Amino acid sequence: MNDPGLAALLSGPTCLALGTGNATMTHRGLPVSWGMVTLAFVLAAALWALARTPAKGIESQGVSLGRLPLIGPGIRRLTATPWVLISLRMFLVALFLLVITAGLFGTPIPERNLATMLTWNLWWAGLVFSVLLLGTAWCAVCPWDALAHWLVRRRLWRRAEPNNSLNLRVPRPLRSVWPALWLFIGLTWLELGVGITTSPYATALVALLMVVLATVSLALFERKAFCRYFCPVGRTVGFYSQLSLVELRPIEAEICAHCRTLDCYYGNAQIEPCPTWLVMGRLTQNSYCISCGNCTQSCPHDNIAWRFRSPAAEAVVGARPRWDEAWFMLILLALTIFHGLTMMPFWEPAMRALARVIGDSGRLLWSFSAGLAACIACTSLLYWGAARWAHRWTGSTMPFRRFFATFAFTALPLAFAYHLAHNLNHLARESSGLGAVLRDPLGVHAQPLSLAEKHLHHLDTWIPLDVLWALQTGLMALGFVIALQIIRHRGRSALGEAGQPAWRLAPLILFACAVTAFNLWLLMQPMVMRF
């Protein structure tokens, strides 16, 4: 190997893996030293938790922006006006239509087409960071919902009477997050199995399908059943937002307690009712709030504003367990792990080996589907075993089904932390070149990137590698700490008395340790680039 350019590719932060006739670009993984330090912290924190009695939850109520001096009144007026959200929705709808146009009529080269670059390299990778910082704000400006609303209601924002919907009740079997979960698994299958991330045309078709589903749902059912029950992205955002730094809540609880009109729920002559059937004065978790602004605009007391809080406050204390939600969180954890696995260099050879065993051919969809099912099953069985073991050790009188759902919140920070750390790698290394695609969104007369161009693109990270690794390990440590807080707080009710030893919760702590260790190992492996 005497070519100095090729030697640089093989040895640099972005590497070239030579396999069976194909070249694969990979990112360098998290250095072993960073991973070992994080793992040592995880083990020390776990031992500390085992030695201490279970703790009470977080008591901090956060800081309401509406109460702040000087800027508080301005914040209240800003949240009560519809024009900020309307402007953002119009901008994102225009961008969305450009993405559709590029996907349907632009170049099929994914790294040269706005549809694939913007959807998968920026939006899909960056969405979880918007949840951490802004809660469910994405749902407030979602172009799928905006287009559906304008097509069915035929109003830009004011209440439509009649509202042009059949206003049917959602059938009872669909009044859960199971539809969104199955759609999320299907979206994962399309993304990673069929490979729509490398097809601008398929990306555009899936985006259009989501608009159709949102529109049909709004035309058939009362309020916004798609946002509440069916949207896979919205429900993922909703569950992750239980770990957000912000929440939309009453400024003064007493005002809501004495309110008799409940305009936040019913709306008024100008403003639509809450699309997801929520009463602001009783709201304790972000899961189903889509930050649409209806409550802030209809409240006659201007008593609703954004509030800063601890990212652990809701998942540790405020959130209430439900069976369908427990499974959504567990499978969300499994799917985040699966995303990481499919981007490992060993994934494709493993799928080809499995295909030879089971007689799969063509695009290896049966092999991929088996791998997806196995990841979901292994994660679920690992948690089920830990919960069953802990249920027996604690001697809890709580029915196992409720015990299972109560501690399933442990999976949420583990999934969110790894999802953030994994996507940070994508954003830091793969967002380069987006400016050129924005200047030519359809990729007219574009040529595929050469290996050298790809190498230069991925070397151009917008944050130094040491900062990237520090952020990744910090996120993993924070996710584990929040998981420990959830186990310790919810363990108080399982153990009955605060004085009982915490080691009875060891199976759940071991589950959190095992998942964190495996995710750290994934981060330490070289990761195949998307394009």
pLDDT digits (tens, 9 = 90+) for 38-63: 999 999 999 998 888 776 666 667 88
Q: Is-contact 27 429, C-beta < 8 A?
A: yes
Model confidence at 273, pLDDT cuts 50, 70, 90, reads very high
Counting DSSP H helices and E strands in the chain, the numbers are 25, 6
Residue 342, SS3 per DSSP: helix
d(CA 95, CA 102): 10
d(CA 105, CA 363): 25
Q: Which residues of 418-448 are buried (b: 16+ CB within 10 A; e: fewer)?
A: bbbbbbbbbbbbbbbbeeebeebbbbeebee
Model confidence at 203, pLDDT cuts 50, 70, 90, reads very high
Residue 107, SS3 per DSSP: coil
**Burial (Cβ within 10 Å: 0-12, 13-18, ≥19) of residue 168:** exposed
Model confidence at 481, pLDDT cuts 50, 70, 90, reads very high
Which tokens in the block code for residue 290?
Answer: 């889509």
Model confidence at 7, pLDDT cuts 50, 70, 90, reads very low
Give ∠ CA 470-476-481 in degrees, rounded to 5.
120
SS (H, E, C) 491-502: HHHHHCCCCCCH
Model confidence at 196, pLDDT cuts 50, 70, 90, reads very high
Give ∠ CA 479-484-485 in degrees, rounded to 5.
95
Which tokens in the block code for residue 453?
Answer: 């161009």
Q: Which of 508, 522, 505 has its CA nearest to residue 480?
A: 508
Asked whether residue 511 carries a pLDDT value surpassing 80, the answer given is yes
d(CA 187, CA 194): 10
d(CA 311, CA 313): 6
Q: Is-contact 520 39, C-beta < 8 A?
A: yes
At CB < 8 A and 24+ separation, what contacts does 84-89 make?
Answer: 85/140, 85/141, 85/157, 85/292, 85/293, 86/156, 86/157, 88/140, 88/141, 89/141, 89/143, 89/146
Beta partners for 247?
A: 307
The pLDDT tens digits for 211-246 are 999 999 999 999 999 999 999 999 999 999 999 999
Query: Which single residue is written with the structure tokens 């409720």?
Result: 402
Largest CA distance in the chain: 80
Name the percent of the chain lying above pLDDT 70: 90
d(CA 48, CA 480): 13
Report the pLDDT value the prediction gives residue 59, as an integer from 0 to 100. 63
Report CA torsion sign: 301, 228, 175, 211.
positive
Q: Is-contact 143 92, C-beta < 8 A?
A: yes
Which tokens in the block code for residue 313?
Answer: 């406050």
Distances (CA, A) of 422 to 38, 138, 304, 468, 469: 15, 20, 34, 11, 11
Mean pLDDT of 347-367: 88
Domain ranges (residues) in the chain: 27-59+319-528, 62-82+245-309, 83-237
The pLDDT tens digits for 83-136 are 999 999 999 999 999 999 999 999 999 988 999 999 998 999 899 999 999 999
Report the pLDDT value the prediction gives residue 521, as an integer from 0 to 100. 96
Mean pLDDT of 316-342: 93
- Number of Cβ within 10 Å of residue 474's Cβ equals 14
Distances (CA, A) of 235 to 46, 321, 486: 30, 15, 21
Distances (CA, A) of 89 to 107, 140, 214, 216, 468: 27, 8, 15, 20, 32
Which tokens in the block code for residue 64?
Answer: 């309401």
Q: Is-contact 231 283, C-beta < 8 A?
A: no
Q: Is-contact 214 152, C-beta < 8 A?
A: no
Mean pLDDT lowest among 32-36, 67-71, 328-332, 405-409? 67-71
Asked whether residue 164 carries a pLDDT value surpassing 80, the answer given is yes
Q: Is-contact 226 217, C-beta < 8 A?
A: yes
Overall size of the chain counted in residues: 531
Report the pLDDT value the prediction gives residue 459, as an integer from 0 to 100. 66
d(CA 253, CA 405): 29
Q: Which of 19, 27, 96 has its CA nearest to residue 459?
A: 27
Q: What is the mean pLDDT of the chain?
A: 88
Residues 6+ apart with CB under 8 A from 429: 14, 27, 458, 461, 529
Mean pLDDT of 460-476: 89
Report the pLDDT value the prediction gives residue 144, as an integer from 0 to 100. 97
The pLDDT tens digits for 410-447 are 999 999 999 999 999 888 877 777 777 888 888 887 77
Model confidence at 449, pLDDT cuts 50, 70, 90, reads confident
Q: 178-188 vs 323-342: helix axis angle to the nearest 10? A: 10
